[in-house]
């Protein structure tokens, strides 16, 4: 597959509608794909699909390889007998436009535990219809699944504490402690593995349905893993940890558009020399795993592969960091050699220096442009995000998951930015019309791929943005669209624009 002139929509699956408080990989995912096809779209872009923890961010998952069991369709489990009608006798009162992740943590895990309990005896005896398929999954995903299941099970016995706060034998993965944990938690290991099996099985169906409708899926690889993750616990030699399991330094970005004090992400940093010594084996497996989920991989914070912002630990802000070079060229060559044909989009926003541009261009990776950034500064000749300055080998967005909605951006923009837009376009949009105007600008641009967040197509306000970077507010990552919002009229309008701009493929 190679990206040709086309377009798509950004929507995380948790934002799908549905009866159980969070988007799922069932009927509503299929309906969204149908709508995309009717609208002439070629791509569905999602965020990372890993299991989320504190803060609910998909960019801080418990595993770089696992899937989020919250997305498993419970009605699909009932349809194939893994859940029974009586399991639904007591259903919480769910909101329709926000995800309550705390509620999901309790109720949905109970439902998934019931699904496992119903199947457990027959799975163990080999008499369940899914036994062979489950066994194949266990074998194929053994490289990460055993560590993830053990990490998850131990974490539950430790009251949810992060791994570097566990008793030393467990924290340090001492052989006797690991053997004892595997014996004591054998049922929990199987249960966690079964949840992962259900997720990957349903996602495979969704992805296959999308393919049948001519829709490819773009998905994210965050450059860093969460501090509290099975990856960090299972591979401490690959990260900058001290002997107590504490990070020596952590990741973030310096002060920028989003924050005067930068962003202190807190992710552990890699020991790149150790990764390079084994041929970047972990990264190659990470990409290989992502290709089981996505057709195209967007790398979040691509600039960190050229140089990353190293913040001494502990720190209260990201101000007192430094740039440190990373072996990006060697890494991407290793990935290309191991996985020829892998398609990558480089999220090259932020502080883009010549070394970042060289890394991107040497591998001919499309970068990104965000039109909400196009009208600051006042100099039309130098702003790289203005349509006249965009490149063909680029993906253009009205905004991303970290931006305000486009309607909200217009409402809160500086008057100088609004004036720059009016001068550039010789138009004077209203709050009601601006989001569609910017969508038209994205589609008419020379960039070969245009992607628009669904919030912009629905012309939603700031309260419907997906994330406010640098915060852990209760609104982050929780937005959902309501059933019925995706009308045939909107599909027809988007299809007409797609055809008019030569993006209907």
Dist. CA 445–CA 110, nearest whole Å: 48
Q: What angle do CA 32, 114, 142 make, to 5 degrees?
A: 75
Is 402 designated active site?
yes
**Cα–Cα dist 119/252, whole Å:** 44
Annotated active-site residue 300? The verdict is yes
Cα separation, 480 vs 189, in Å, equals: 32
Q: What's the token pair of residue 207? A: 């992805």
Q: How far is residue 53 CA from its own chain's centroid? A: 14
Residue-level pLDDT at 221: 97
Give the residues across from 251 on adjacent strands.
Answer: 310
Question: Which residue is catalytic, options 300, 404, 456, 464?
Answer: 300
pLDDT at res. 351: 83
CATH (one of 2.60.200.20, 3.30.420.40, 3.20.20.80, 3.30.565.10) for 6-366+448-499: 3.20.20.80
Q: Which of 147, 347, 456, 464 is catalytic?
A: 347
Domain residue spans of the chain? 6-366+448-499
Helix, strand or coil, per DSSP, at residue 384: coil
The pair of structure tokens assigned to 369 is 């442009």
Q: What's the CA gap between 441 and 430, in Å, rounded? A: 15
Q: Is 231 a catalytic residue?
A: no
Residue 502 — left, alpha, or beta (φ > 0 → left; ψ -120 to 50 → alpha)? left
- The runs of H, that is alpha helices, within 367-487 are 406-412, 415-425, 434-444, 454-457
Closest CA to 151 of 232, 223, 71: 232
d(CA 57, CA 105): 14
pLDDT in tens, the chain (505 residues): 589 999 999 999 999 999 999 999 999 999 999 999 999 999 999 999 999 988 999 999 999 999 999 999 999 999 999 999 999 999 999 988 999 999 999 999 999 999 999 999 999 889 999 999 999 999 999 999 999 999 999 999 999 999 999 999 999 999 999 999 999 999 999 999 999 999 999 999 999 999 999 999 999 999 999 999 999 999 999 999 998 899 999 999 998 776 889 989 999 999 999 999 999 999 999 999 999 999 999 999 999 999 999 999 999 999 999 999 999 999 999 999 999 999 999 999 988 999 999 999 999 999 999 999 999 876 777 899 999 999 999 999 999 999 999 999 999 999 999 999 999 999 999 999 999 999 999 999 999 999 999 999 999 999 999 999 878 888 999 999 999 999 999 999 999 999 999 999 8
Strand arrangement of the beta sheet that strand 249-253 belongs to: 263-268, 249-253, 307-312, 322-325
Candidates 76, 402, 404, 464; catalytic one: 402
Q: Is 247 exposed, middle or buried (0-12, 13-18, 19+ CB in 10 A)?
A: buried
SS3 449: strand
For 6-47, what is the HEC assignment? EEEEECCHHHCCCCCCCCCCCHHHHHHHHHHHHCCCCEEECC
Edge-to-edge strand list for the sheet holding 296-300: 344-346, 296-300, 216-222, 43-45, 6-10, 449-453, 394-397, 367-370
Phi, then psi, of 25 in degrees rounded to 5:
-90, 50
| Other residues' Cβ atoms within 10 Å of the Cβ of residue 93 | 6
Residue 474 confidence (pLDDT):
85
């Amino acid at each position: 597959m190679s990206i040709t002139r086309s377009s798509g929509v950004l929507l995380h699956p948790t934002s799908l509608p549905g009866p159980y408080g969070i988007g799922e990989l069932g009927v509503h995912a299929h309906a969204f794909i149908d709508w995309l096809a009717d609208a002439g779209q070629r791509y569905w872009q999602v965020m990372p699909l890993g299991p989320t923890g504190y803060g609910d961010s998909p960019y801080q998952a418990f595993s770089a390889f696992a899937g989020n069991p919250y997305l498993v369709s419970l009605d699909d489990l009932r349809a194939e007998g893994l859940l029974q009608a009586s399991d639904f006798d007591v259903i919480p009162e769910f909101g329709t436009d926000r995800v309550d992740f705390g509620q999901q943590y309790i109720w949905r895990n109970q439902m998934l535990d019931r699904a496992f309990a119903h199947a457990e005896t027959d799975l163990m005896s080999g008499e369940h219809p899914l036994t062979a398929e489950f066994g194949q999954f266990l074998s194929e995903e053994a490289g990460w699944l055993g560590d993830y299941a053990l990490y998850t099970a131990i974490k539950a016995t430790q009251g949810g504490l992060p791994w570097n706060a566990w008793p030393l034998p467990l924290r340090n993965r001492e052989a006797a402690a690991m053997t004892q944990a595997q014996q004591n938690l054998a049922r929990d290991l199987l249960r966690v593995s079964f949840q992962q099996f259900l997720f990957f099985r349903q996602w495979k169906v969704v992805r296959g349905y999308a393919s049948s409708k001519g829709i490819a899926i773009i998905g994210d690889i965050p450059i860093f893993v969460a501090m509290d993750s099975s990856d960090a616990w299972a591979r401490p030699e690959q990260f900058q940890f001290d002997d107590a399991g504490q990070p020596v330094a952590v990741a973030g970005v310096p002060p920028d558009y989003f924050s005067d004090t930068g962003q202190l992400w807190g992710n552990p940093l890699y020991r790149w020399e150790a990764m390079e010594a084994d041929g970047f084996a972990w990264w190659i497996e990470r990409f290989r795993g992502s290709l089981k989920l996505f057709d195209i991989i967007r790398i979040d914070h691509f600039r960190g592969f050229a140089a990353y912002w190293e913040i001494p630990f502990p720190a209260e802000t990201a101000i007192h960091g430094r740039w440190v070079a990373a072996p990006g060229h060697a890494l991407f060559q290793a990935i290309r050699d191991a996985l020829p044909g892998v398609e990558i989009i480089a999220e090259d926003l932020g502080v883009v220096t010549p070394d970042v541009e060289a890394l991107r261009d040497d591998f001919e990776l499309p970068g990104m442009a965000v039109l909400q950034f196009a009208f600051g500064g006042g100099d039309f000749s130098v702003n790289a995000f203005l349509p006249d300055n965009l490149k063909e080998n680029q993906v253009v967005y009205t905004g991303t998951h970290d931006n305000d909605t486009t309607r909200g951006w217009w409402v809160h923009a500086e008057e100088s930015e609004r004036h720059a837009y009016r001068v550039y376009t010789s138009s004077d949009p209203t709050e009601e019309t601006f989001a569609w105007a910017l969508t038209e600008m994205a589609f008419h641009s020379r960039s070969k791929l245009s992607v628009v967040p669904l919030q912009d197509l629905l012309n939603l306000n700031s309260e419907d943005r997906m994330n406010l970077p640098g915060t852990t507010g209760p609104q982050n990552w929780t937005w959902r669209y309501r059933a019925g919002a995706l009308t045939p009229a909107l599909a027809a309008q988007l299809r007409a624009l797609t055809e008019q701009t030569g993006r209907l493929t």
